Structure 1
Amino acid sequence: MGFAHETVSRQERYHGAIFSVFTDRVTMSGGGTAARDVVENRGAVVVVAVDDQDRVVLIRQYRHPIKRHLWELPAGLRDVVGEDEALTAGRELAEEADLVAGRMEPLIDLHTSPGFADEFVRVFLARDLAPVPEADRYTRTDEEADIEVRRVDLDEAVAMVFRGEITNAATVGGVLAAARARDSGWTLLRSA
């Protein structure tokens, strides 16, 4: 067991709808204290949707902080308090890719940037896919209005990771984990 770091003070720098920023004064292993800026985030779910032809569903979406479109997996914030993560994942899959999944299983867990943020992302594997009926589809707005949805062979998605065409961290992790899980005959999956 390592040194038990303790927060001795906290100053809020920013409070927003999606995240808040604090400066914590923390005890250090070598003695004394140090200031550490911390971003607290609601967390998110990500969905690796794999169809019966071994294709993964990718979306291309604009991301303002890097000022470009990225290939990503369907994902969303845990913005409904108390909602089961698998239900959140299913809702995001329906909203962003117009799909429902007959099976939704946890695949991997990620701390996206633990050097400064507490964001925790659970990546789900969705299979047995079916389209959302046209009349029940979600109306996309804002940056989601021009989402491009594409099904890509899972091995090609892995190649896109290694070519640097997929750079979203949760997407990289999800695609690589899904390919490895598939190659194991899905034996690596944990129970929900």
Structure 2
Amino acid sequence: MTIKDIPEEWEIRGTETPFVGNKTSVRTDDVVMPDGTVVHRDYQVHPGSVAVLALDEADRVLVLRQYRHPVRHKLWEIPAGLLDVPGENPLHAAQRELYEEAHVKAEDWRVLTDVYTTPGGCDEAVRIFLARGLSEAEGDRFEVEDEEADMELARVPVAELVRGVLAGELHNNCLVVGVLSLVAARDGDGLDALRPAQAPWPARPFEA
């Protein structure tokens, strides 16, 4: 048996969209099960996201702390954001988020990993990039607002983040997956063996 996720779509007898928000919506599908019964499945429809694990020469990761209202926490996270335009190139979106949230640019970009954040209740797909060769971006800083106006920035050693993840002190999905994937990649074939930044992403197809 090959351990690999495969695309598959069961028959849908009907669908409704009871809620439409600014960026996401909620959909209800009537899905035919293998035994022929039809069940309702509610899920959030999401445009997709990108995240950036930015690693500097001192083996520190650029992180930010931001208030997240649904979980009533200030969470340490890596820079991330929505794919605002259908078909948007995820690398371009990641470069934009790194600039907007940290005023940083990077010379070397790789795909670290691709994940579905909560596939039981949301179709959000996230591509997490590894960015190296960091330097300060040119020009003025991006004007932030709302929760981002209260954001804190820091550079934290990889080992300290790993410790925090395993101790249950850090909870953001992209930070946890990104940091542990970084360590796994180092212990495997190395960071230079990661997929190129423009690698295909079937979950959110894009123009290179």
Q: TM-score range by the shorter chain?
A: over 0.9
Percent identity, aligned pairs only, is: 45
The CA deviation at 1:155 is: 1.3
Structure 1: tracts of 5 or more residues without a match = none
Amino acid at match of 2:25: S
Q: Does 2:129 align with 1:121?
A: no
- Tell me the SS of whatever aligns to 2:62: strand
2:151 to 147, 150, 166: 147
- TM-score, structure 2 normalization: 0.87
CA RMSD of aligned residues (A): 1.7
Match of 1:51 in 2: 56
Cα distance, 1:87 vs structure 2 = 0.9
Return the alpha-carbon distance in structure 2 between the equivalents of residues 73 and 120 of structure 1: 16
Q: Distance in 2 between matches of 1:170 and 1:2?
A: 23
2-side partners of 1:3 and 1:67: how far apart? Answer: 36
Partner SS, residue 103 of structure 1: strand
Name 2:183's counterpart in structure 1: 179
In structure 2, relative to structure 1, the CA distance for the partners of 1:152 and 1:50 (3 Å cut) is: same
CA distance in 2, matches of 1:83, 1:2: 22
Match status 1:77 vs 2:82: yes
Q: Which residue of structure 1 aligns with residue 174 of structure 2?
A: 170
- Per-residue CA deviations over 1:8-33 (Å, capped at 9, x if unaligned) read 10011101121110111000012211
Q: Quick check: 1:3–1:29 contact (8 Å CA) kept in 2?
A: no
Match of 1:34 in 2: 39
CA distance in 2, matches of 1:182, 1:142: 37
**Paired residue type of 1:121:** V
Q: CA deviation at 1:157?
A: 0.8
Q: Distance in 1 between matches of 2:95 and 2:134?
A: 11
Q: Return the letter of the residue paired with 2:27.
A: F
Decide whether the 8 Å contact of 2:64 with 2:78 is kept in 1.
yes
| CA deviations over 1:104-137 (Å, ceiling 9, x no partner) | 211100000111111000000000000123x421
Q: For the residues of structure 2 that align with 1:100 and 1:69, how far apart are their CA atoms?
A: 25
SS in 1 for 2:183: helix
What's the secondary structure of 2:93's corresponding residue? helix
Contact 2:109 2:196 in 1 (8 A): no
Relative to the length of structure 1, the TM-score reads 0.93
Q: For residues 91 and 54 of structure 1, what CA distance do their matches in structure 2 show?
A: 23
* Distance in 2 between residues matched to 1:110 and 1:170, nearest whole Å: 9
- Which aligned runs of 4 or more in structure 1 are off by greater than 4 angstroms? 1-4
What's the CA shift for 1:81?
3.6
Q: Is the 8 A contact 1:99 1:132 kept in 2?
A: yes
Provide the residue aligned with 1:131 in structure 2: 136
1:109 counterpart letter in structure 2:
D
Output the CA distance in 1 between the equivalents of 2:88 and 2:29. Answer: 30
